[in-house]
Amino acid sequence: MIRQQVSTVDLMPTLLDAAGLPAPADLHGSSFLPLVGGGTDPERPESVFLQISEFEVGRAVRTSRWKYAVTAPDANGWTEPSADRYVETCLYDLANDPYELDNLAGLTSHREVADSLRAMLLDWMRTVGEKEPVIEPAPERRPRGRRVDPEVHDFDLTGVRFAHQRPVA
């Protein structure tokens, strides 16, 4: 099990590391081989950066607890790789809502969290060489009546067979 954040950009360095080959100096990402089996890497960033493309232009940052995403409402994901303006679209508390059922974007109760994650996302965007965009807050809204069960992440489904799985012989 790997408990720290990894990204697809880490795949190539990991495969090279597993094969005993050196990674080129200009290769992005880092090997997550030291993390396999529960290891740690104190040098690993606390978050990962995601680029959302094709049907929309978006960016996201994920930490062990939060996922924060923005999209560019005026950009075409098929023809534009980035945008000058994004709007917050998603904020999920993964510790209490691992299935991402309750979008917290736009709630005043989570504005401070969203602002912190926005700053983290902008740092990532600068790091990968993007021009710093404007990120507008999600429109303010009231919470819905549904609540996420904070116990959901404690469910132990080890050994439970789901309909799409073959019976264990």
Q: What is the pLDDT of residues 30-76, one digit of tens each?
A: 888 888 888 888 888 788 888 888 789 999 999 989 999 999 999 98
Coil, helix or strand at residue 10: helix
In this structure, is residue 161 part of a structural domain? no
117 and 75 in a common domain: yes
Tell me how far the alpha carbon of residue 150 is from its chain's centroid: 20
In this structure, is residue 167 part of a structural domain? no
pTM (two decimals): 0.76
From residue 106, alpha-carbon distances to 43, 89, 126, 151, 162 in Å are: 33, 8, 25, 24, 35
Report whether 12 contacts 24 (CB < 8 A): no
Evaluate if residue 165 carries a pLDDT over 80.
Answer: no
Domain that holds residue 31: 1-44
Coil, helix or strand at residue 2: coil
pLDDT of residue 77: 87
105 and 56 in a common domain: yes
pLDDT of residue 84: 94
In this structure, is residue 157 part of a structural domain? no
In this structure, is residue 159 part of a structural domain? no
pLDDT tens digits, 112-146: 999 999 999 999 999 888 999 999 999 999 887 66
* Domains held by the chain: number: 2
Evaluate if residue 149 carries a pLDDT over 80.
Answer: no
Tell me how far the alpha carbon of residue 130 is from its chain's centroid: 18
Report whether 81 contacts 141 (CB < 8 A): no
56 and 6 in a common domain: no
Evaluate if residue 148 carries a pLDDT over 70.
Answer: no
66 and 40 in a common domain: no
CATH number (domain holding residue 111): 3.30.1120.10
